[in-house]
Amino acid sequence: MSTANDVSEDFRVKFPLHVAVWDNDYRRLEEQIRLQNDIDNVDPRGRTALHLAVSLGHLESVRVLLRHGAAVTKENANNWTVLQEAVSTGDPEMVQLVLQRRDYLKASTALGGVPELLSKIRKSPDFYMEMKWEFTSWIPLLSRVCPSDVCRIWKSGACLRVDATLLGFENMTWIRGRRSYIFRGDDSCAELMEINHDDQVVDVERFNISQEMEDVTLESMQPPEQEVAKRLTTPIVNTYLDTKDIAFERSKSGIWGWRSDKTEAVNGFEAKVFTVNNVNVVIRTRTEHLTDEEKARIKSERNVLESLLGTVEQHISAQGDLTLEYATATNPTAILPEEYFNPEFDLGNRDIGRPIELSIRTQKFKGTLWMSEEHPLSLVEQVTPIIDLMARTSSHFARLRDFVTLKFPPGFPVKIEIPLFHVLNAKITFGNVNKCSTEEEVTTTPAATPTSAGEEEAAAEPPLFRVCSSVFEVPANYHRRGVSRHMPVSNNDEELLQYAIHQSLLESHGQQGIWDVADGDFVDVMPSIPNDRSVPEGMLVDIANSSSPPSSSSPDSDLHLALELSTQAQQEEERMRKQEEEELQRILQLSLTDK
């Protein structure tokens, strides 16, 4: 039987970095790191030394660990990142340190992965395809204003061109225009062009990948004070797809005893239809770092959002009576190191760090997948590298990439329905494959014509598809400018919801939206948290980072608009009912007169 001293000695040997962090002895921490101890080792509570230092608020230990390359993107046992835990402390200097290192790592990793991506793209055959994006929502009012877009993609060697017309969402308006994005590169150099066909101007950005990597320094990633302040005054939001129990089931057609596996023709290809089950969109929100005024404001906004969405968030807060006499702000229940580092000791609801105030919302998503085994393209070899490259600047493609990396049934997904966020879904259809080698528009997609076995054998092998080099050239009459390419940023679902309210007020006499309960059912349960999440926090749609001021719409005005909308809807319904009654009375009077 081990004594208390044996247990104490055991954890100090097993977790020397963590113990140094616990004692806030950053000099001993530096010495232990030099002794080749694993800097990202995880303690019995699922924290790395860096996570522990942040949760305890030990700033100097955080500096030492970051300087020696501790993993800043690693998540703890509760699936929170180091940056999210830093924001929870409410310490601006802590947030600045972690955010700077996180941004530096993201920038250097993104550049470092470009050569490998280019190599994969270069090795795959030329192709052309179109991706039709249809955005849908189960939210009333919002479903009426969801847009659609068709992305045209040409690929030849290491050259890529993407044409799009839906540019983003800004200041309560969907932004449209004709844009082409052309990427040409090799292992060391790359050129990115953004062509504005409406204004006939081109922004060209050339960069040497190795030189760019040298230019990305920690000092250059210093976050502005406004960014730090914004994070400290807004909730911590973590959104992810829970796909651990995902299941693909064949959809059925027919009635009763004559039901069979469902197949549909999609752009000339016969596709098996699958239902995607057990996918949840989970949104977790933490507010313990906010002031009482900020919490009250957010709560009032959430109440209206919940009434519109038909859901109530589950709220989890720390027990107030657990605070002990010898507790500190970052160890409110006075946990001893012998208790914390002993995996057999049950801490119950006690933990280190600021007590968490957590709200969880879960939405079930039931999607559909159309898989064709006749499709000429390879998802892994040809399409996934393109999606991966586009995902670096587009949250739409980022969500699509996360979805297509799941283990699909055999074939190519000619049509996919995925959740973009908890109020917005996207249906992506791949079509017109290799139907266009130039910039000319594809008029129609001919349906597949059935042929006999003899005709198939007699048919000649189709010629190798080649994309015309002119596709990647800029029209001669276009004006070339310097580097001023707009980088997309993320938006949130609340802004889209506000947009729906505004649009409905402008069109108050139009057709009202309809609740789609089957596809938008919220479940008020505590979800099981998977080991990996696939959705970047807060991502929904891409918008241009223009110099225009943000929308002047305030939460209070939007709440007023929501109430006004509800009143107008009731008044309109009452007016229509009275009009129908009057019309019925006139018909009855006329019928009596005719007699």
> What is the per-residue pLDDT for 135?
80
CB atoms within 10 A of CB 324: 12
> What is the per-residue pLDDT for 437?
79
Q: 169-187 burial by CB neighbour count: b if 16+ within 10 A, else e? A: bbebebbeeebbbbbbbee
What CATH class has 4-108+338-350?
Answer: mainly alpha
> What is the per-residue pLDDT for 300?
75
Phi, psi angles (nearest 5°) of residue 179: -130, 145
Q: How far apart are CA 414 and CA 433, in angstroms?
A: 10
pLDDT tens-digit series, residues 354-379: 999 998 888 777 889 999 999 998 88
> What is the per-residue pLDDT for 491?
44
| Length reported for the chain | 595
Q: 228-252 burial by CB neighbour count: b if 16+ within 10 A, else e? A: beebbeebbebbbbbbeebebeeee
> What is the per-residue pLDDT for 209?
65
DSSP at 335: -
Name the residue among 192, 187, 182 with its Cα closest to residue 117.
187
pLDDT tens-digit series, residues 30-63: 999 999 889 999 999 999 999 999 999 999 999 9
Tokens 């229940």 belong to 333
pLDDT tens-digit series, residues 203-257: 887 777 666 667 778 888 889 999 999 999 999 988 887 888 889 999 998 887 7
Helix (H) or strand (E) holding 369: strand 358-372
Percent of the chain with pLDDT over 70: 65
pLDDT-derived band at 140 (thresholds 50, 70, 90) equals low
Task: Please give the full DSSP string across 268-312, using - where no structure is assigned.
Answer: TEEEEEEEEEEEEEEEEEE-TTS-HHHHHHHHHHHHHHHHHHT--
Pairing between strand 201-208 and 479-481? parallel
> What is the per-residue pLDDT for 88?
96
Tokens 């000649």 belong to 460
Q: Which two tokens stand for residue 234?
A: 């807004």
> What is the per-residue pLDDT for 204?
86
Name the residue among 397, 437, 404 with its Cα closest to residue 125.
437
Out of 70-74, 411-415, 434-438, 517-521, which region has the weakest mean confidence (pLDDT)?
517-521
Residue 556 has pLDDT above 50, yes or no: no
Higher pLDDT, 314 or 2: 314
> What is the per-residue pLDDT for 173?
62
Name the residue among 260, 223, 235 with its Cα closest to residue 102.
223
Task: Answer whether 461's CB lies under 8 Å from 368's CB.
Answer: no
pLDDT-derived band at 489 (thresholds 50, 70, 90) equals very low
pLDDT tens-digit series, residues 175-211: 788 999 898 877 667 788 889 999 999 988 777 766 6
pLDDT-derived band at 170 (thresholds 50, 70, 90) equals low
Q: How far apart are CA 16 and CA 591, in angstroms?
A: 95
> What is the per-residue pLDDT for 588?
54
Per domain, the residue ranges of the chain are: 4-108+338-350, 124-218+234-281+360-490, 555-595
Residue 323 has pLDDT above 50, yes or no: no
> What is the per-residue pLDDT for 400?
82
Helix (H) or strand (E) holding 424: strand 424-431
In this prediction, residues 140-160 reach a mean pLDDT of 78
Q: What is the CA radius of gyration of the chain?
A: 28
pLDDT-derived band at 583 (thresholds 50, 70, 90) equals low
The mean of the pLDDT values for the chain is: 75
> What is the per-residue pLDDT for 443?
53
CA angle 536, 539, 542 (to 5 degrees): 130
> What is the per-residue pLDDT for 318?
52
Name the residue among 270, 244, 276, 250 with its Cα closest to residue 262.
250
Task: Please give the full DSSP string across 62-94, using - where no structure is assigned.
Answer: HHHHHHTT--SS---TTS--HHHHHHHHT-HHH
What is the sign of the dihedral through the CA atoms of 584, 589, 592 and 594? negative
pLDDT-derived band at 116 (thresholds 50, 70, 90) equals confident
Q: How far apart are CA 72 and CA 106, in angstroms?
A: 10
Residue 527 has pLDDT above 90, yes or no: no
In this prediction, residues 168-173 reach a mean pLDDT of 59
Which residues on adjacent β-strands are paired with residue 489? 543
Residue 167 has pLDDT above 50, yes or no: yes
CA angle 571, 507, 421 (to 5 degrees): 105
pLDDT tens-digit series, residues 2-40: 555 555 568 888 999 999 999 999 999 999 999 988 999
> What is the per-residue pLDDT for 493?
47
Phi, psi angles (nearest 5°) of residue 124: -85, 155
DSSP at 6: H
Residue 488 has pLDDT above 70, yes or no: no
Q: How far apart are CA 541 and CA 135, in angstroms?
A: 11
